Amino acid sequence: MTIDFQTTLIPLATLILLGWLVGRTQDIDLKSVTTILIYAISPVVAFLSTAQMHFKDIFVFLPGVTLILSATCDLSTFVIGRYCLKKKELGYLLPIAAGSGNNGYFGLPLAMAVFAPERVGIYFLVTLGVTFFEATLGYFFVARGHLSAAEALQRAIRIPVTYAIVAGLILSSLHLNLDPGLLKLYDAARGCYVSLGMMIIGMALAKHKRLAWDMDFLALSMFGKYGLWALFTTAFIWADTHLLKAYDADIHKMI
């Protein structure tokens, strides 16, 4: 498995740099940009990507696998943070930091570069579990930092990408062909999703005039994302390879 850095990573890094330059030189309302991405573009991409999937029955369980893996990293890191963090309020940011990743803006272009075109669709299913986690448990914990449990749950329920994914899977199960116009919309929305998402990273970095280091929070975030995730996924891949034998090596790499 190789990555073409020149045609994949350099354009993505360029988009981040452009976002940083715009954020430094212009008065950008970052909240408005992210709202458009979350409530308009992201649901379109999620719905149309899942609606055109052609998968085997066993693929249906892939979102459940990554949802469980994300939630396990999330809850484990959160519990550790309750005992180890000096600033306890930062503990509510740990789940989203440890249990999710930039699997859309950054991961999708990489998947297109690494895997065969007919396999990229499976990558969407793999990421659905992480998307579900981000839109439910992850968002719940972030909101819970300054809201009551009921208010945090209400906000999580209002995230539209969850319903877009469910609607897309229902349409896919009916084996209906999408209208060519919708496919063109998908291509446009996907390009916008990647481009705008990468630029948001740069614009967000540009908003920080100085860096402040909470080393205990940083260490726990990295431990959850790169330590626990690696541990739990390795355990799953070992079990699947030797016992379940449900998925192939490409899917293991996606996970």
Asked whether the predicted pLDDT for residue 65 surpasses 80, the reply is: yes
- Do residues 22 and 28 touch, judged by C-beta distance below 8 A? yes
Structure tokens given for 207: 């908003």
Which of 21-25, 86-90, 187-191, 210-214 is the most confident on average? Answer: 21-25
Tell me how far apart the alpha carbons of residues 17 and 25 are, in angstroms, rounded to a whole number. 12
Q: What is the pLDDT of residues 95-143, one digit of tens each?
A: 888 877 777 777 777 777 788 766 777 887 888 788 778 777 877 777 7
Asked whether the predicted pLDDT for residue 1 surpasses 60, the reply is: no
Mean pLDDT over each residue of the chain, to the nearest integer: 84
- Do residues 160 and 136 touch, judged by C-beta distance below 8 A? no
Q: Where are the domains of the chain?
A: 28-234+241-254
- Do residues 100 and 129 touch, judged by C-beta distance below 8 A? no
Lowest-pLDDT choice from 19-23, 29-33, 183-187, 207-211: 207-211
Structure tokens given for 112: 């297109």
Q: What is the pLDDT of residues 14-62, one digit of tens each?
A: 999 999 999 999 988 888 988 898 889 988 988 888 788 776 778 889 9
